[in-house]
Amino acid sequence: MFKKILFVLLGVVLTLLTIILVNTFRLGNTQIEPETIAEVDWDRNAMLDRFSRAIQYKTISGDEDDMRDTTEFNAFLDFIEWEYPLVHERLDRIYFNDFTPLYYWEGSDPSLNPILLMGHYDVVPVDSTDIEGWEYGPFSGQIADGYLWGRGTLDNKNNVMSLLETMEYLLSVDYQPSRSFYVSFGHDEEIGGDEGARAISRYFQDNNITLNYVLDEGGAVITDNPMMGERVAMVGIAEKGYLSLELTARTRGGHSSSPPNEMAIVKLSDAISKLDNNQFPAAIDGATESMFEAIASKLPFHIRMVYGNRWATNGLMTRMMANDPSLAPMVRTTTAPTILRAGVKDNVLPNEARGVVNFRLIPGETFDSVKEHVISVIDDEDITISDYGPIQVPPSMVSPVNSPNYRDLQQAIMDQFQDLYVMPYLVTGATDSRYFTGITDQIYRFSPVEFSMDDMGIIHGTGEKISIESYLGTIDFYVHLIQKSTE
């Protein structure tokens, strides 16, 4: 009897092991082989010179209450009009709220829905306390040490200038697209995009224009992606929503020498602690699931084995990601207290304490579901919950990775960068592309630039720069992509 039980148990173990190994090795490979492309036949020194001068315009978007220096924005628009004469002579264009241009290149086949390529030329302010940390001036546009330096070189004048170079080049060789396409350059992306991208979206809606696909900033080529340990092109196929709520606790004030049982600051602290201790549920689905599907066969064996057998490991894998601060935003709506206000004097108990909590909503979440979670978790009638700030952005849809448009984008990336993997992912920040949900069901977020994980910190930080090789390759990429998408 004992031997029979042992053989049965051994059979069960071998069966389970076989299932695990089969599931591990049958993970598909969604990568494609690269092809070669020709470099753009253009004066590359002149391209760099134009990019350098573009960086020198201080097109800064500060806080929403700050006054825009319209002189710099107008000067930049005059500069690109002068430097790209074919673009501004042959293509139709409209300006939205004076500063966001939308260019239109009409194709030969009106039955094809147009595409939209996006960039923005406004930049974030420079931290005045860290000017000495810049090796070259933040608006110098200095070309040195194999890089072009300055605010906007990575976010996002690189896209703007390379798209202008691309259009000028294609016009110079009399390229004729079959599919029409638009190119837009936002002037207020860093403060929400309301006057730029949102206005363009309304224009498309008012004129019943349906787009084939949209390509905006978002992902890039990371040379040392931590999941793969090598070069990975990250293409955003969805982005999280944005909602801030203000929590207000009110109690009787008084003298600090006789504190009552209930104090506003304590009640507010308790409410925030409850939210921190009761995070939103986590799940590997949507864009994050598409990410793993794309790269699973290339992951280390032990991770492949875990992912390939989610029938048994899903809970473990989800918890592991949810407990890692760098991965948690990919699997759940995040909760982040950001502002606290209370009190006027150290010996006076405040009548009121206020706190702002920012939520980044995963696709599938809604404003109402977030508020229901907050109310349920806090469970205190003395805490008032209200919307905070002018920005409320629902999470985007998840764009498909099995469409011809995504495959064209993937092919163009492979052709340009050759030896790497293309990985769809969930963008945890916000881009102007969010305004075009409903105008197309295919929105992708990728800038054809290459940098390391360490360099990600300079995008809004000190010492922003782009390698000369990477910038010039951006122009080759856009020429190739436009031809693939519009022929």
Which amino acid, 139? F
Pairing of strands 143-144, 214-225: unpaired
Pick the closest to residue 214 from 191, 193, 197 (CA basis). 197
Say if residues 411 and 222 touch (Cβ distance below 8 Å): no
Residue 458, CB-side half-sphere exposure with 13 Å CA sphere: 20
Q: Please classify residue 76 by burial: count the beta carbons closer than 10 Å to its beta carbon, then call 0-12 exposed, 13-18 middle and 19+ buried.
A: buried
The CB density around residue 375, as the number of other CB atoms within 10 Å, is 13
Rounded to 5 degrees, φ, ψ at 112 are -90, 130
Dihedral sign computed on CA atoms, order 306, 308, 312, 315: positive
Active site residue 408: no
Q: Is the peptide bond before 156 cis (omega within 30 degrees of 0)?
A: yes
Dihedral sign computed on CA atoms, order 64, 213, 477, 220: positive
User: Which candidate in 165, 168, 189, 476 is catalytic?
Assistant: 189
User: How many angstroms separate the CA atoms of 109 and 106, rounded?
Assistant: 9
Tell how far CA 335 is from the center of its chain. Answer: 18
Active site residue 276: no
User: Which candidate in 83, 122, 195, 216 is catalytic?
Assistant: 122
Catalytic residues: 122, 189
